[in-house]
Chain A
Amino acid sequence: MKRSRREAKPVSEASLSFSFSRRAMVLGGTQAGVMALLGARMGYISIAQNEKYTLLAESNRVNLTLIPPRRGWIVDRNGKPLAMNRTDFRVDIIPDRVQDKQRTVGTLAELLALKPEDVERIKEELEDAAGFQPVQVATNLKYDDYARVVVRLPDLPGVAPAQGYSRYYPTGAAVGHLLGYVGTASAKDYEKTKDPLLITPGFKVGKDGLEKAFNPALRGAPGAKRVEVTASGKLVRELTDRADTPGHNLKLTIDAGLQEYAARRIGPESASIVVLDCWTGDVLAMASMPSYDPNSFSAGISHAEWDWLSNDDHVPLRNKTLQALYPPGSTVKPMIALSFLEAGLSPEESCNCSGALRVGNSLFHCWSRRGHGRVNMHRAIEQSCDIYFYTFAQRMGIDVIAGMARRMGLGQKFPLPFPSQSYGTFPTPEWKQKKYDEPWAIYDTLNSTIGQGYVLANPTQLAVMGARLGSGRIIRPYFQADPKRGIAPSLGVQQSNLDIIHAAMRDVVNGNGTAGRAKLIVPGVILAGKTGSAQVRRITMAERARGVRGDAALPYRLRDHALFVGYAPFDKPRYAVGCVLEHSHDNGSAAGMASDTLAYLFDPAIALAKLETLEKGWGGSISQRMAVKLDSYRRAHGLAPVAPVEAPNASVAVANSTEAATASSSADNTSGDVPE
């Protein structure tokens, strides 16, 4: 049958056969093409993408456990450590891997004899931490305690004991605001970079101060433990470890001894002291007290300590040297007198101070209601006579004054390695017009000449002003030591004019001036300076008319701030100081602190002897007093029910509260002496 059909239609059979051959060739060709395509694809994967996939295969095969790098040390100008690392046995919890949080924390509390408030902190952090973030249980463990946890490890999934390093600040609170502190990286940091180092237990980043600013240099590169593992995580063998690269050491301009001395000398007060080198601008000390102990922060601060710090009326959480603004008060007077001299005023030209001066419709008082009588420039600075400056400011004009203020660094923001800095202002007519849309008035000039009104500065700027006045050089503050840094260039002020100012500032301290009790305790070294006071309380026009000045009887929060700007020795300026003592009606006390601090630079033994006597009266060293205060705080609140937690994560809380403190402080300060 088939054959007959073939014979019946030979032509059709032939054409079909031809069609088959052609289509079979197409099919074969297509198959060859697909095979070639597959070959090309394989070539692309294994040649062009070889590097990428080799890396991925390697990261499959090798399991890395990061070893946190040793953080670089922070040392002072002489190489003395301010921040270092101590070997440390520690225990952390990785929340993601914990099965039963309550039981795990309970077991650890038992094994390590944790205090109830630590247990409470750990529980709160466990609730709030993103799952991958390690929560610190305890650091600085004794080897026995550490070993006790290690042997129980199989029953405690998610618990990570580690042998590492912890940050240690030998001088504790004395360097709190200067160096800041370190802590575990925040979840936000990790989400931004996805750097696995950030969630490695024991790894800390700088959270504030210089620790934060120089974090990239200090942190170093992590080492790694490398093991080969199967897909199911079974260990096949250990590979060679990679050692960590420690961070770079940071050498500061700070003098460790002076820094600690300044902090201790502040004693129980709320004050800040900044000391500068008059030649280079090196910051030798920057103390803001009271402060927190960065060791506590770095080890995970307890609730009680945190509450105590945030509630203290001496604001230990604010770095007053940079974040607090004060009206500089009379401390600007030498600078203003210098502007008069440079503008051509004779130093012998004088006026009569009767205790008050009528300008327009208002009566402006001198701080001395009895008046100073006949005053020339020298006497005006020495006695801090307001009337002299009111009188000649009207003649010289605000432009002369504001120009010199700018040259002295007031209102200037210096590029400092600190996360937050308030830099104040020295007003000009243009500034006022722009900011308040109001024309300049004569009383603005008068207020500015006595460092009140719109004038605001931080203690670091006061120290810069002291250094520039003393040396006549363009001093800028530096924190990082640099052997190549030379002597700062000249301001271009006439030396003869500077000499006149220097002589007057010498007599403020050593003559009949306002800081007579602040003479340097080191024989043969003469301190020059100028006191000032800044009003915290708004004084009404009515009170001003009555001449209300004194505030000794006012509550602490409303008392005036005492300020001092100076340098030593008076004839060969070497070191300058800026000091603000909050809420102290006694101007001399700020000058005394500043004087003793500078004395340490000339004779540490004498200065320390005085300090030890003082500390006996205050109740011991900084850490002793802090321990007592914390203890009494805890006793006072020990029985109280647990307060609602406002800051589960200490680092976040610090940021918040610092902002709040800064805000409230500027409110305080701007309410200084604004004329109505």
Chain B
Amino acid sequence: MNSIIPQNIARLPWRLILLVGAIAMFGTVVLYSAAGGHIKPWALNQAVRFVIFSVMAMALSRVPVDLFRRLAWPAYAGVLIALILVELIGGVAGGSQRWINLGFMQLQPSEFMKPIIVLAVAAFYANLPLSETRRWVAIWPALLMIGVPWALVLVQPDLGTATMIAAGGVTVMFLAGIPLRLFIGAGVAGAIAVPILFNFLHDYQKKRVLIFMDPESDPLGAGYHISQSKIAIGSGGIFGKGFLAGSQSHLDYLPEAHTDFVFATMAEEWGLVGGLLLLVAFGLLFRWGIRVALRTPDRFARLVAAGLTTTIFFYVAINLMMVMGLAPVVGIPLPFMSYGGSSMLTVMICIGIILGIDNASRKTVRNWR
């Protein structure tokens, strides 16, 4: 086994490191501008955090994949308990309960549920006898595994995270080979259920959804975020207003300019060119993840690789749709760009695990051929 270590160092995924590093670097530059041309309070923190989490991800990629499978359910159970604790003892923050205050830090268990639901559902299908794949017993336990945390997060209430948990789990079910007609049927049922479910949303959530439909109806009220975000992006034009020259972000018209709406801050100064470059960079990241999944023979591993890739994808897609006025404001940050530790941690965990799967599959292929 000793001979493997130098091989692995030589095989460090330099292209991936370069890609993710470039995105994070760009994010840091944008945060530097959002702070009015200062590395404090955001850019420096974000850069340091990225370096630490990168090391963590590299370490995670050395963990044997099998360990994740064995730890998936205990971890799932742990986070589920934490979610219930949030409901029971969680402090009230901003009208919605999302945190457990541990004294030295605030823990947001729903964030961890995003990758762990993928691991847990993948583990379930990996353990399922193949002959059972098209039976009812292959479906209801998975739905239960997804449904319970989904419901817990939804009542927090955190529509964005709940959506991501459901989407991550269902993606794994889809990849695991559940009959296609079930997805089609569920889609139709969902379309019917949406108006009914709408009535169960909190007032502020309803308002957000309605405002999203027509943000200009209330440009100074609840539609303010989307209106200002579109103004920032639209006024950037093709080449942007130039670095440090965005009026929307610098004059505080754009709310959450360094967190959820950081893409608008970027687009105002870098224009369509900056936006498309970022989209291409994220696209390359997803392609890498899907290709890892495709060349992995192990059932659990490939489900996890594709599932976690999709989790990152949902971050990006939901955030950008929100910022461009295609989705309601749901508070999903943009990976590597939005200022904040927990989302970066989650995404780096995802990347670390996918990297580990990549390493393992390469090893297996080489050893067995």
A residues apposed to B, CB below 8 Å = 5, 9, 12-13, 16-17, 19-21, 23-25, 27-28, 31-32, 34-35, 38-39, 41-43, 45-47, 49-50, 52-54, 56-58, 60-61, 228-232, 236
Contacts and interface: CB of A to CB of B under 8 A. Distances in A.
A27 B237 contact: no
B235 interface: yes
A35 B279 contact: yes
A19 B134 CA distance: 13
B84 to A, nearest CB: 31
Nearest to B307: A27
Given A24-B293, A35-B282, A50-B235, A45 B230 contact: yes
Given A27-B306, A39-B275, A60-B251, A46 B234 contact: yes
Contacts of B287: 28, 32
B236 A46 contact: yes
Contacts of A57: 231-232, 234-235, 247-248, 253, 268
A50 B175 contact: no
A236 B287 CA distance: 46
B233 A230 contact: no
A39 B280 CA distance: 9
Contacts of A34: 313, 317
B252 A231 contact: yes
Given A24-B302, A56-B234, 9 more contacts: A27-B174, A31-B286, A31-B310, A32-B286, A35-B317, A47-B237, A53-B230, A54-B234, A56-B231
B174 A46 contact: no
A52 B234 contact: yes
Contact of A38 (B228, B230, B268, B279): B279
A459 to B, nearest CB: 55
A27 B175 contact: yes
A46 B286 contact: no
B195 interface: no
A366 B58 CA distance: 124
Contacts of A47: 237-238, 272
A230 B310 CA distance: 39
A23 B251 contact: no
Contacts of A13: 130
Interface string B213-253: 00000000000000010111111111000000001100111
22 contacts: A5-B130, A16-B133, A20-B302, A24-B175, A25-B290, A28-B286, A31-B286, A32-B286, A35-B316, A38-B279, A42-B233, A42-B276, A42-B279, A50-B237, A56-B234, A57-B235, A57-B268, A60-B231, A61-B247, A230-B252, A231-B251, A231-B253
A60 B247 contact: yes
Interface string B291-304: 00110010100110
Interface in B313-356: 313, 316-317, 320-321, 324-326
Given A39-B275, A46-B237, A27 B310 contact: yes
A24 B235 CA distance: 38
Contacts of B321: 38
A16 B316 CA distance: 29
* Best-buried of A24, A32, A34, A41 by chain B (most CB within 10 Å): A24
B281 to A, nearest CB: 10
A12 B128 CA distance: 13
A41 B283 contact: no
Given A9-B131, A13-B130, A45 B251 contact: no
- 4 interchain residue pairs of minimum CB distance: A53-B234, A57-B235, A28-B290, A231-B252
B290 A38 contact: no
Nearest to B326: A41
- Dominant SS among interface residues on chain A: helix
Contacts of A53: 230-231, 233-235
Contact of A46 (B267, B282, B293): B267
A41 B324 contact: yes
B167 to A, nearest CB: 11
A46 B271 contact: yes
A16 B177 CA distance: 7
B238 A12 contact: no
B286 A232 contact: no
Contact of B272 (A5, A19, A32, A42): A42
A63 to B, nearest CB: 11
A75 B234 CA distance: 50
A42 B131 contact: no
Contacts of A45: 230, 233-234, 324-325
Nearest to B130: A12
A493 B325 CA distance: 77
A54 to B, nearest CB: 5
A49 B251 CA distance: 22
Contacts of B361: none
Contacts of A23: 174-175, 177
A41 B236 CA distance: 14
B265 interface: no
Contacts of B185: none
Nearest to A51: B234
Contacts of B310: 27, 31
Contacts of B236: 46
A60 B233 contact: no
Contacts of B306: 24, 27
A31 B235 contact: no
Nearest to B252: A231
Nearest to A38: B320
B124 to A, nearest CB: 14
A532 to B, nearest CB: 66
Nearest to A23: B175
B247 to A, nearest CB: 4
B251 A16 contact: no
Nearest to A46: B272
Contacts of B228: 60
A60 B251 CA distance: 9
Interface string B29-43: 000000000000000
B171 interface: yes
B354 to A, nearest CB: 13
B248 A60 contact: yes
B18 to A, nearest CB: 20
A43 B238 CA distance: 8
Contacts of A228: 247, 251
A19 B177 contact: yes
B332 to A, nearest CB: 14
B364 to A, nearest CB: 13
Contacts of B299: 16, 20
Given A24-B293, A31-B310, A46 B251 contact: no
Contacts of A54: 234-235, 237
A229 B236 CA distance: 19
B294 A24 contact: yes
A27 B275 contact: no
Contacts of B235: 50, 53-54, 56-58
Nearest to B129: A5
Contacts of B230: 45, 49, 53
A23 B297 CA distance: 15
Interface in B179-216: none
Contacts of B234: 45-46, 49-50, 52-54, 56-57
A299 B205 CA distance: 53
Contacts of A21: 294
Nearest to B248: A57
A229 B317 CA distance: 33
B317 A38 contact: yes
B226 to A, nearest CB: 11
Contacts of A232: 252
B130 A38 contact: no
A20 B177 contact: yes
A28 B276 CA distance: 18
Contacts of B316: 35
A236 B251 contact: yes
Contacts of A42: 233, 267, 272, 275-276, 279, 324
Nearest to A41: B324
Contacts of A58: 235
